[in-house]
Amino acid sequence: MSNTPATEAPRRRTFAIISHPDAGKTTLTEHLLLAGGSIRAAGQVRARGENRRTRSDWMKIEKERGISVSSSVMTFEHDGKVFNLLDTPGHEDFSEDTYRTLTAADAAIMVLDAAKGIEPQTLKLFEVCRLRDIPIITFINKMDREAEDSLALLDEVASKLQLDPSPLYWPAGSGNRFRGMLELKTGLFYPFTRRESGSEYDQGHEAPALLDQAVAKGWLDQAELDELRDTAELLEGGFKAFDTISFLEGHMTPVIFGSALRHYGVNQLLQAIGDFAPAPKTVAASKAGTDTTVDPTDKEVTGFVFKVQANMDPNHRDRIAMLKLTSGKFQRGMKLKVQNTGKQLSVNAPIMFFASDRELAEDAFGGDVIGIPNHGVLRVGDSLSESGTVRFQGLPNFAPEILQRVRVKDPLKAKHLKKALESLAEEGVTQLFRPSIGSDFIVGAVGQLQFEVMADRLANEYGLDVIFEPSPYAEARWLGGDAAKIEDFAGKHRSAMGTDIDEFPVFLGKSAWEIGYVAERYPDVKFLRTKERG
């Protein structure tokens, strides 16, 4: 059978996992890959991660702090569907990076620790998903440990996230008394069997049977069965039934309970992603300046760069642009054009990221992500297409929360520093501003950790020993509105003006108060917290 965009794109499920650190994202990733049949034993993802982490100092930061700052994508095929799991960085300092990765996701899995419910980072990431109304499936993890009351957990989802939870399953007990869960639609009970070692879970748990048989099978005692039945009845009135449209619009979240570590509920989750998560959507775009839409089944190959990643293979100093394909059938060797620069590139060595290793991609379709090695031609937010005329909405930059001045210890290397800072800004690691007066480099970031990652990379990849110092600025705002008004404003505030990496005018304020003050006095100028790139 020939594979065409019309047959292939609808099979794609491109999703990300959002969670607070420690809720079980890594474990769940691993067990999803296991359920999808793309790894054979638990432990491989972590082992691979650790192996990778020891390869560079930058990764050392991740290791020392137990956080993940780089992100990648893993592809696996299961039950007729192609799953692309986008890995999002877990640390809050990298929320901008996470935002960009989520722009490439068509759905998200929200993992909650059953004993903790919604934690601060869950909330932040959820808000990012809400900005784009990404449909969310909720997985309540660690049911094999003492959990909060399940009803209370769902109430928390409803009240803190304003999201309608719709349980697809209901658990019997938790911790030592965790017995399994009931599938509410079918009345099937899925028993949980506690075993010792991780690898045994590869065999899965016992096959489900109707709840009536659970006592006879020794899965539940009569009291547990009665309680589960009573609760299940209550649920019907208490929660809305699962509604696909409401889910796809981002108002409702189906809920599954389980234990990633014990490979319980993971098959059901994978099934739910396959059944409910959307295939890649039609997206708004412009073509040769005219508004249009791009459908994944369209013939022309199109896509956008949502991330540029360095350091995946320190031996090659490569820089890989992650391209989310939005339409067409991409084939290796194909020529694609960058819309905003008109540059053409032959994509001879695209990379697909299978769980086992990196492999050359022969073809890929809407929903897939391919890595394109390049030397600075591709930037975050770029739109690529065969004709070079298709443009997608760019990805935003967010106003940084910390601005610091950066200096290189050896003054002879100042020129070198400029280049290095520019390329890190291109990659989206940090933002770079040049004040109109003087020769300072001001680096902006959302969190302190970004500066550390940056210093580390400047030393290792560029041989630059740098010092970060406090800068006179506290806030940066991009200027928008009428060009003549901006020019007038800039002329009167030259000492507080600068430009960003794209030569965009930026006002560098000494305080939030100052920004408010000038904004009030210049109502025709917009002081923007986000800027769209691409």
**Residue numbering of the annotated binding site for GTP:** 19-26, 87-91, 141-144
Q: Can you list the alpha helix ranges (DSSP code H) found in 105-260? A: 120-131, 150-161, 222-238, 244-248
Half-sphere exposure of 530 (CA within 13 A, CB side): 8
Tokens encoding 328: 């067409």
Helix, strand and coil content of the chain, in percent to the nearest 5, comes to 30, 30, 35
Residue 70 makes contact with ligand G4P by CB under 6 A: no
Which span (138-146, 294-302, 368-376, 479-487) binds ligand G4P, by CB under 6 A?
A: 138-146
Q: Is the dihedral of CA 434, 437, 440, 445 positive or negative?
A: negative
Of positions 39, 172, 225, 261, contacts ligand G4P by CB under 6 A = 261
Residues numbered 233 to 252 that lie near ligand G4P (CB under 6 A) are: none
Residue 205 makes contact with ligand G4P by CB under 6 A: no
Residue 174 makes contact with ligand G4P by CB under 6 A: no
Residue 19 makes contact with ligand G4P by CB under 6 A: yes
- Which residue spans within 200-289 are E strands per DSSP? 209-210, 252-257, 283-287
Q: Which residues contact 430 (CB under 8 A, 6 or more apart)?
A: 400, 421, 424, 443, 444, 445, 450, 451, 454
Which span (94-102, 257-265, 352-360, 456-464) binds ligand G4P, by CB under 6 A?
A: 257-265
Q: 151, 207, 180: which is closest to 262 by C-alpha?
A: 180
Which span (15-23, 49-57, 149-157, 322-330) binds ligand G4P, by CB under 6 A?
A: 15-23
DSSP tag of 495: G
Q: For residues 304 and 325, what is the distance between their CA atoms, to the nearest angstrom?
A: 7
Residue 198 makes contact with ligand G4P by CB under 6 A: no
Residue 260 makes contact with ligand G4P by CB under 6 A: yes
- Between residues 143 and 443, which has the closer beta carbon with respect to ligand G4P? 143
Residues numbered 23 to 42 that lie near ligand G4P (CB under 6 A) are: 23-27
- Between residues 110 and 261, which has the closer beta carbon with respect to ligand G4P? 261
- Beta-carbon neighbour count of residue 519 at 10 Å? 15
Closest distance of CB 21 from ligand G4P, Å: 4
Residue 142 makes contact with ligand G4P by CB under 6 A: yes
Of positions 145, 229, 343, 485, contacts ligand G4P by CB under 6 A = 145
Q: For residues 258 and 138, what is the distance between their CA atoms, to the nearest angstrom?
A: 11
- Between residues 142 and 391, which has the closer beta carbon with respect to ligand G4P? 142
Residue 144 makes contact with ligand G4P by CB under 6 A: yes
Residue 22 makes contact with ligand G4P by CB under 6 A: yes
- Between residues 142 and 477, which has the closer beta carbon with respect to ligand G4P? 142
- Between residues 38 and 259, which has the closer beta carbon with respect to ligand G4P? 259
Residues numbered 262 to 291 that lie near ligand G4P (CB under 6 A) are: 262
Residue 501 makes contact with ligand G4P by CB under 6 A: no
Half-sphere exposure of 386 (CA within 13 A, CB side): 12
- Between residues 258 and 381, which has the closer beta carbon with respect to ligand G4P? 258
- Between residues 139 and 304, which has the closer beta carbon with respect to ligand G4P? 139
Residues of each annotated binding site: 19-26, 87-91, 141-144
Q: Which residues contact 380 (CB under 8 A, 6 or more apart)?
A: 100, 305, 306, 307, 308, 395, 426, 427, 428, 533, 534
Q: 95, 44, 33: which is closest to 273 by C-alpha?
A: 33
Residues numbered 318 to 337 that lie near ligand G4P (CB under 6 A) are: none
Which span (52-60, 141-149, 321-329, 381-389) binds ligand G4P, by CB under 6 A?
A: 141-149
Q: 77, 56, 73: which is closest to 3 by C-alpha?
A: 77
Q: For residues 340 and 20, what is the distance between their CA atoms, to the nearest angstrom?
A: 37
Give the CA distances from residue 246 to residues 122, 155, 166, 243, 270, in Å, rounded to whole numbers and listed in that order.
Answer: 21, 18, 11, 5, 20
Closest distance of CB 137 from ligand G4P, Å: 16
The contact set with ligand G4P (CB under 6 A) reads 19, 21-27, 141-142, 144-145, 259-262
